[in-house]
Amino acid sequence: MSSDVEGGRIDYVFKIVVIGDDAVGKSQLLSGFARNEFSLDSKGTIGVEFATRSIRFEDKVVKAQIWDTAGQERYLAITSAYYRGAAGALLVYDVTRHATFETVGRWLKELRDHTDSNIVIMLVGNKADLRHLRAVSTEDAKAFAEKESIFFMETSAQDTNVKTSFETLLTDIYRILSKKSLVADTYVDSLTVARLLGGTKISVGPGGCCS
């Protein structure tokens, strides 16, 4: 079971990256997760934005640091830094645009090329609220996820259950990593994050890390 945690001790920080084609809803998912709780880093300078949220698992407090891209910069200088140290990834497509599902294999390859083999990946079919426009079946996506041994869920950024999607992913990451005794290695402190970004100073707002 998990629950929100305010302030206080942090045992682990999990970096989660959000990837997928343009306009599939990555930013909306991120802000749904962070709504009313954290401010986002401004986009302009480093090409990424991220939100954080702390969750308790039994006696441990895990801070999820969710990274999202801010435009095309990712394809230039920061690809490696963006992926480096990620413990989990949300690979998002839009259930109303089949083309965004067809590129999932490519995103998966890029992700695997740049991350540790222990990364926990969740395929996310977003915009599930647009039932009449659906172009990707749940069955096809589920079959793909099974073939690739990754998790799968459908979401709507407009639903209140976005937090549940992230919590499911975090719970899976925590369970998998703790089983493999890898949690300690996955810890990324704020200095490491700053280093990954080439020493760029990051400000996440009140209560966030790295300011």
Ligand X SMILES: Nc1nc2c(ncn2[C@@H]2O[C@H](COP(=O)(O)OP(=O)(O)OP(=O)(O)O)[C@@H](O)[C@H]2O)c(=O)[nH]1
Q: Indicate the residue among 57 and 88 with the shorter CB distance to ligand X.
A: 88
Give φ, ψ of 80 to 5 degrees: -65, -45
**Cβ 130 to ligand X shortest distance, Å:** 5
Residue choice 23, 135, 143, 191 for contact with ligand X (CB under 6 A): 23
Report the distance separating Cα 52 and Cα 61, nearest Å.
Answer: 13
Structure tokens at 65: 């640091």
- 201 and 194 Cβ atoms separated by less than 8 Å: yes
Give φ, ψ of 50 to 5 degrees: -145, 155
| Residue 127 binds ligand X (CB under 6 A) | yes
Report the distance separating Cα 191 and Cα 188, nearest Å.
Answer: 8
Q: Indicate the residue among 158 and 190 with the shorter CB distance to ligand X.
A: 158
Residue choice 12, 14, 19, 26 for contact with ligand X (CB under 6 A): 26
Q: Indicate the residue among 12 and 49 with the shorter CB distance to ligand X.
A: 49
**Cβ 28 to ligand X shortest distance, Å:** 4
Give φ, ψ of 53 to 5 degrees: -155, 140
| Residue 19 binds ligand X (CB under 6 A) | no
| Residue 24 binds ligand X (CB under 6 A) | yes
Tell me, by CB under 6 A, how many residues bind ligand X: 14
| Residue 129 binds ligand X (CB under 6 A) | yes
Report the distance separating Cα 178 and Cα 172, nearest Å.
Answer: 10
Residue choice 65, 115, 126, 165 for contact with ligand X (CB under 6 A): 126
Q: Could you report how far apart the first and last alpha carbons of the chain are, in Å?
A: 30
The owner of tokens 């929100």 is: 4
Q: Indicate the residue among 70 and 194 with the shorter CB distance to ligand X.
A: 70
Site for ligand X in 49-108 (CB under 6 A): none
Structure tokens at 19: 């990837």
Q: Indicate the residue among 56 and 163 with the shorter CB distance to ligand X.
A: 163
Cα distances from 64 to residues 28, 114, 118, 126, 129, in angstroms, run 17, 20, 17, 20, 26
Structure tokens at 94: 């839009």
| Residue 156 binds ligand X (CB under 6 A) | yes
Residue choice 13, 14, 15, 25 for contact with ligand X (CB under 6 A): 25
Footprint of ligand X (CB under 6 A):
22-28, 126-127, 129-130, 156-158
